[in-house]
Copies of this chain bind each other. A is one copy, B any other.
Amino acid sequence: MPGATDQTLRPFLWRASKLFPDREVVSRTHDGVERYTYSEYEDRVGQLANALDAAGVERGDRVGTFCWNHHRHFETYFGVPSMGAQLHTINPLLPDHHIQYIVENAADTVLFVDPSLVEKLAGAYDEEVFASVERYVVVGEEVPETSLSPVTDYESFVAEADAAYDWPDLSEEQPAGMCYTSGTTGKPKGVEYTQQMLWSHTMATLPESGLDIRSSDVVMPVVPMFHVNAWGLPFSTTAAGAKHVYPGPSPSPEDLASLIEEEGVTLTAGVPTVWLGLLDYLDENDADISSLDRIVIGGAAAPRSVIRRFDEEYDVDVVHAWGMTEMAPIGTVAHLKPGMESWDREERYEKRAKQGLLASGLEMRVVGDDGEEVEWNGEDFGELWVRGPWVTTEYYERPEANEEDFEGNWLKTGDVVTVDEEGYVQIVDRAKDVIKSGGEWISSVELENSLMAHDDVAEATVVGVPHERWQERPVAFVVPKDGADREALQSELTEMVRAEFPKWWVPDEVMFIEEVPKTATGKFDKKVLREEYDDESIVA
């Protein structure tokens, strides 16, 4: 049977550099804003590939990056996979023992590391664990004092290399990328992306049913490039021929506002906290963000207040999206359907606050406790299962997790959801966080949202603790705001929940803590609380 050419990233680089040669890649760095064109970008990517060849990197080798969002990191996005190696982006915010597990498990041969992260990486260094690493490249113009060795700086590494590179015909099965899950529910799990998966994800993000990216867009990924390839945006932006803006290391709200204003950003993307920070900044400062058309928010639920404020005050659409490392990552996107534009504001915000409609090219089912698919009525919930061309069917070297998380070609996402009559998915909880009490499910996320709405609550989380009679009972952990009357707060919170939810949802205890423990990606780390409070006596 005749076939077609393999699906690889190469045509995206080809198209941007040939059809949009003058469109820009802009990058905030320690020394101000740098910029060049796609045409120069292509040359730099060619140089990088030649330098990697010269350094002995071979097809299938893994090349790790330990970097923020900037143009050099973006050069590795096409340079590494298109020469046939595998780009492995590492989250530098992880604790040392996770970094060690990840580097050892992936067996990276070269590590690219930002100047400001050299110390962090050196701190995690362990001779045995890092044995596969043959070279460190500090992604800048010079090498700081470090124990990492052998080490070069990026500019010297590529300086002598030719810009022309004869990109090979790769198989679409060739591993092109790798990323580890955030480790919210346990040890991070490695997910490999083939050329085909990245091609598919890229194509799927371009149309309306994805992120709706056009050549006229100016795209600024604030989500780190070590979080599932900045949600694929560096690839998608290139495929669209759009302009890139990278906000560099640890951008402040001020940095973001000024990049939006100066570069004419139309589309940006990141986790909710980033946008809360920007809204606060905009309250106090003059900045013109009128070029901005939409913000993709994902990784955690987009608060309705953020959606409302961006719409009402800045005429910016928040595009709420849900995804996972396992799916490169886009799964659902909360676009409005034809006709919904004319709905009134609050109805629109209600849809936009959900995680959205499944992207075109994927399939899903929602499986209830009884193994049957649940009804799409916005009420019944079950675990979301997904499958599709950019959804993995396996973790890297984790047979136990494979056993648990897959069923045939379905990925069991571990997210518990409802689906409404219009097909909008809403995440109710993680399966591991759902509290099972007397045979009924209690959504920890809904309880948390309710508690956090109280003026005296800074943060709150709800965890199930074991209970003899009810199997599990909810316990609330609350960080009160300074000066709050704790005793009054305790009873007010209990009253509040009682008024809003079924009786058995009311937490058996409201405990005050100093801070909710967080993971490296800023998510609530319920594992820590569960371990600490794994004790029936609390709610006995």
List chain A positions with a Cβ less than 8 A from chain B: 1-7, 10-12, 14-15, 18-20, 169, 173, 175, 191-192, 194, 196-197, 199-200, 203-204, 206-209, 213-216, 239-241, 335, 337-338, 357-358, 360-363, 387-396, 408-409, 422-423
Contact = CB atoms under 8 A, between A and B. Distances in A.
Contacts of A207: 203, 206-207, 213-214, 240
B5 A409 contact: yes
Given A3-B394, A14-B363, 19 more contacts: A2-B395, A2-B396, A3-B196, A3-B392, A3-B393, A11-B363, A12-B361, A15-B360, A19-B422, A20-B337, A169-B409, A203-B203, A203-B361, A206-B208, A206-B360, A207-B207, A209-B240, A215-B335, A239-B360
B216 A338 contact: yes
A358 B14 CA distance: 10
A203 B202 CA distance: 10
B203 A208 contact: no
**Identical chains bound together, number:** 2
Q: What secondary structure prevails in chain A residues at the interface with B?
A: loop
Contacts of A362: 11, 15
Given A11-B362, A337-B20, A363-B11, A208 B200 contact: no
Given A216-B338, A389-B7, A194 B1 contact: yes
Contacts of A6: 389
Contacts of A241: 209, 337, 360
Given A206-B208, A361-B11, A337 B215 contact: yes
A358 B362 CA distance: 26
**Nearest 7 pairs between A and B by C-beta?**
A2-B394, A206-B207, A216-B338, A19-B423, A203-B203, A207-B207, A5-B387
Contacts of A14: 363
B5 A360 contact: no
B18 A423 contact: yes
Nearest to A376: B18
A4 B337 contact: no
Contacts of A1: 173, 175, 192, 194
B361 A4 contact: no
Given A215-B337, A240-B360, A194 B389 contact: no
Given A173-B1, A208-B240, A393-B4, A360 B197 contact: no
Contacts of A197: 3-4
Residue among A208, A335, A391, A396 with most chain B CB within 10 A? A208
19 contacts: A1-B192, A3-B392, A3-B393, A4-B200, A4-B388, A4-B391, A5-B389, A5-B391, A10-B363, A11-B363, A11-B388, A15-B209, A15-B358, A169-B409, A203-B203, A203-B360, A203-B361, A209-B215, A239-B360
Contacts of A5: 387-389, 391, 393, 409
Nearest to A408: B169
Nearest to A327: B4
Contacts of A363: 10-11, 14
Nearest to A409: B5
Nearest to A16: B360
Contacts of A15: 209, 358, 360, 362
Contacts of A239: 209, 360-361
Contacts of A2: 191-192, 392-396
Contacts of A357: 19
Contacts of A206: 206-209, 360
Given A206-B207, A208-B206, A4 B360 contact: no
A348 to B, nearest CB: 15
Contacts of A409: 5, 169
Residue among A200, A207, A214, A357 with most chain B CB within 10 A? A207
Contacts of A199: 361, 389
A184 to B, nearest CB: 21
